[in-house]
Amino acid sequence: MLAVDTGVVEEWLSEFKTLPEASISSYATNLKDKSALVSSLYKVIQEPQSELLEPVCHQLFEFYRSGEEQLLRFTLQFLPELMWCYLAVSASRDLQSSGCIEALLLGVYNLEIVDKQGHSKVLSFTIPSLSKPSVYHEPSSIGSMALTEGALSQHGLSRVVYSGPHPQREMLTAQNRFEVLTFLLLCYNAALSYMPAVSLQSLCQICSRICVCGYPRQQVRKYKGVNSRIPVSSEFMVQMLTGIYYAFYNGEWDLARKAMDDILYRAQLELYPEPLLVANAIKASLPQSAMKSSKEGTRCIQVEITPTSSRISRNAVTSMSIRGHRWKRHEQPENGNDATELGNFIIPEISVTNVAGERTGNGEKSRALAENDVQHLQGVQETATDPRTDSKGIPEIRRQKSVRKMMEDGINSSGRVQF
């Protein structure tokens, strides 16, 4: 560790001790922009034999229990590195050099399992239903879902999973170690959107190291230091995958891909079904090429949101479309018969309804119109029976009796005959 880093850390330790109560909020806001300080603190944590490790852990714990949100997130960003240092020291069985790190992890855990009044927390998680759209999926993209009796009974019901209450711990042992670390990683994942890029890089690196240490893949990764295997639990690996999945879409594609492959490698060796399921699901959902996302600005996962405006598709089945389809079916046979019987000859449309016409007096006007119509129709029939017309392929009309009967009915009715 360089003298410059030591000076930066010592100045940070003394500055917070002399800080007045009213200036803590502004101090916490400006703290996240001090990249040199963050880099120096990582170097202190990575050296278990450093003299500054104990005061740094004590300062980070003071930040966490201060109640200031910015100071709490500042401590959380070092959580993956603190976990790796503790597990690495535990694997080497040198527990004395990890006492301050263990105290910090236990302090954060005991603060998180209770609320402000000191009562135990019970965390709840609502499992989304596949039949309802969310930011992660669209029901239409899944395919047709069978409307069985069981599916209808479960529609609209939400399943809630509870976690807690968690017991307080005074020390970390081999039995409760990963119970505590899994809960701490859960708290870290809850604040992922506030974590800087250096923290996401640390998360991916320590996940990869934890999974391959002591296995043949360690030589492929060229990791030095710890050569013994570090035991992990299935729940802890699932929490690691949660953070890695976020890192994929927030500028750390290469490191996240390497970490996911190592977790999948370790899950296959341990035969853990939950990490295998989650890792394969993430792997199947990833795009073919690397995401080109900026490390600055808003971090998010691109999803397709269902439009809020109600739109009716052109192919939607409505009452009007059903009615129109029914009319077309009734009209097709009649049109087909007329086409085969008359060929290309056009029959004038006859309307015997009195919808648009004016009422005539004493039926005189209707008789005159009817006689003129009969003469005109006879002229049309003569034209159709012309041999010159027959040579062109137009057949003779054989419906004279029916037409005359229609004309007689039209004359007797009170309506007006229209062509």
pLDDT tens for each residue of the chain, 419 residues long: 677 888 899 999 988 888 888 888 888 888 888 889 999 999 999 888 888 999 999 999 999 998 889 999 999 999 999 999 999 888 877 666 678 999 999 999 999 998 888 888 888 877 767 667 777 667 666 655 555 656 555 555 667 878 778 888 988 888 899 999 999 999 999 999 999 999 999 999 999 999 999 888 888 888 877 888 899 999 999 999 999 999 999 989 999 999 999 999 999 999 999 999 999 999 998 887 665 544 444 445 555 555 554 444 555 555 666 666 555 555 555 555 544 444 444 445 544 444 444 444 444 444 544 455 545 545 544 544 444 444 444 444 445 555 556 666 655 554 444 44
Rg (CA), the chain: 41
Helix residue ranges, H only, 385-418: 387-391, 400-412
Q: How many residues does the chain have?
A: 419
For residue 165, give the nearest of 122, 124, 198 by alpha carbon.
122
pTM of the model: 0.65
Q: Is 419 helix (H, G, I), strand (E, B) or coil?
A: coil
Take residue 263 and report the two structure tokens written for it.
Answer: 């977790």
For residue 244, give the nearest of 231, 229, 230, 263 by alpha carbon.
263
What one-letter code names the amino acid at 410? G
51, burial (CB in 10 Å: exposed 0-12, middle 13-18, buried 19+): exposed
Pair 69, 29: CB distance under 8 Å: no
Asked if omega into 139 is within 30° of 0 (cis), the reply is no
